[in-house]
């Protein structure tokens, strides 16, 4: 695109998403073009989602005890962080967390476990939890599963399978060595093949380039992921990335814009790192294209009060969509 205009950018995004060439042009724009980009992303979001937003919540159901070496994670085998360690929570504890999330306004609840995949006994417990009605959409982020395991959880009530790619292939090799990028792709495709909705995104601010970001969203688009979580690195002491500087808030917003313009019809959920990276600019994530935020605490870090997020949403004239 030789000369980018607001009308042209919006039209291209609404016509199935911007091309890789245009995405590269968007990524190359200077930070003082943020207002222009926000205007485009907001138009695209409103065209497909109107004023509707959703709220998600997660529970760290199995903490630490992880053999993976993800450089960003406090639960990793490479980390020396002050992280609680406990086995998979019992059924009543998980249901209690789900009830708390529902009372806070969550529309989706995800069981998250550390490690590459759950044991057979853990899978049994997760299946029993999924059979319980919580009034929320049922999601799980529990590593790499076989087709048979995915079908079993789907039969138990699983609706959404969450599995992040973390970063584009070139950069992924610099942050994870115990699991290949192709294994992640296989996990996502297997979930899609059995008819589950897939929530698939990445983490930004780890040192990746804009080219890496464009490539990651291109892969997610090709996978036809149903939802796209956008996480920002929250550097944690004791992890290999504990000393990385925080991503600039304006750059974080531009990443959300890029996701919206490349994936115009997909729900985009702003998750980890939102509070520390965006600070007072948090309300702008919706103008940047977000349609959902994660409320409550994260896996190893605290979130802010759900009531504050609900008030932020109301003040913007947005409406939480309950199903």
Asked if residue 3 is part of any domain, the answer here is no
Q: Whole-model pTM?
A: 0.95
Do strands 268-270 and 228-232 pair parallel, antiparallel, or not at all (unpaired)? Answer: parallel
Are the CB atoms for 163 and 207 separated by under 8 Å? no
Asked if residue 175 is part of any domain, the answer here is yes
Query: For the segment 93-106, what is each residue's pLDDT rounded down to a tens digit?
Result: 999 999 999 998 89
Res 146: pLDDT: 93
Q: Which domain holds residue 121?
A: 16-320
Res 323: pLDDT: 53
Are the CB atoms for 136 and 106 separated by under 8 Å? yes
Asked if residue 2 is part of any domain, the answer here is no
Query: For the segment 81-97, what is each residue's pLDDT rounded down to a tens digit?
Result: 778 888 899 999 999 99
Asked if residue 187 is part of any domain, the answer here is yes
Asked if residue 307 is part of any domain, the answer here is yes
- In the chain, which stretches have pLDDT less than 70? 1-2, 323
* Structural domains counted in the chain: 1
Whole-number Å distance between alpha carbons of 85 and 207: 28
Asked if residue 1 is part of any domain, the answer here is no
Residues forming a β-bridge with 232: 204
Res 147: pLDDT: 94
Whole-number Å distance between alpha carbons of 91 and 80: 29
- CATH number of the domain bearing residue 169: 3.20.20.70
Give Cα separations from 198 to 44, 131, 159, 291 (angstroms): 22, 19, 9, 16
Sign of the torsion formed by the C-alpha atoms of 85, 86, 87 and 93: negative
Asked if residue 291 is part of any domain, the answer here is yes
309-314 long-range Cβ contacts below 8 angstroms, 24+ apart: 309/55, 309/105, 310/55, 310/105, 312/282, 312/283, 313/53
Cα angle: 232, vertex 235, 241; to 5 degrees: 105
Res 306: pLDDT: 87
Structure tokens, 293 = 């935020």
């Amino acid at each position: 695109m030789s000369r980018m205009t607001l009308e042209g950018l919006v039209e291209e995004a609404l016509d199935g998403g911007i091309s890789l060439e245009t995405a590269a042009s968007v990524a190359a724009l200077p930070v003082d073009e943020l207002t222009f980009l926000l205007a485009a992303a907001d138009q695209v979001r409103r065209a497909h989602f109107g004023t509707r937003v959703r709220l998600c919540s997660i529970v760290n159901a199995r903490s630490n005890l992880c053999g993976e070496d993800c450089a960003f994670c406090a639960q990793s085998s490479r980390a020396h962080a002050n992280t609680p360690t406990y086995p998979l929570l019992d059924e009543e504890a998980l249901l209690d967390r789900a009830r708390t999330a529902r009372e806070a306004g969550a529309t989706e609840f995800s069981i998250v476990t550390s490690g590459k995949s759950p044991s057979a006994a853990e899978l049994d417990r997760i299946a029993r939890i999924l059979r319980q009605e919580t009034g929320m959409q049922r999601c799980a982020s529990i590593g790499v599963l076989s087709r048979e395991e995915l079908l079993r959880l789907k039969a138990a009530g699983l609706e959404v399978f969450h599995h992040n790619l973390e970063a584009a292939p070139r950069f992924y090799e610099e942050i994870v060595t115990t699991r290949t990028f192709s294994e992640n792709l296989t996990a996502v495709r297997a979930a899609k093949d059995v008819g589950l909705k897939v929530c698939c995104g990445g983490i930004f601010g780890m040192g990746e380039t804009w080219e890496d970001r464009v490539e990651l969203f291109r892969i997610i688009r090709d996978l036809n992921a149903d939802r796209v979580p956008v996480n920002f690195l929250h550097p944690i002491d004791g992890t290999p990335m504990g000393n990385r500087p925080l991503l600039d808030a304006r750059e974080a917003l531009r990443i959300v814009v890029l996701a919206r313009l490349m994936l115009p019809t997909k729900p985009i959920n702003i998750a980890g790192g939102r509070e520390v990276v965006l600070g007072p600019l948090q309300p702008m994530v919706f103008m940047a294209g977000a349609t959902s935020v994660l409320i409550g605490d994260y896996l190893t870090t605290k979130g802010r009060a759900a009531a504050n997020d609900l008030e932020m949403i109301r003040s913007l004239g947005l409406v939480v969509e309950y199903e």
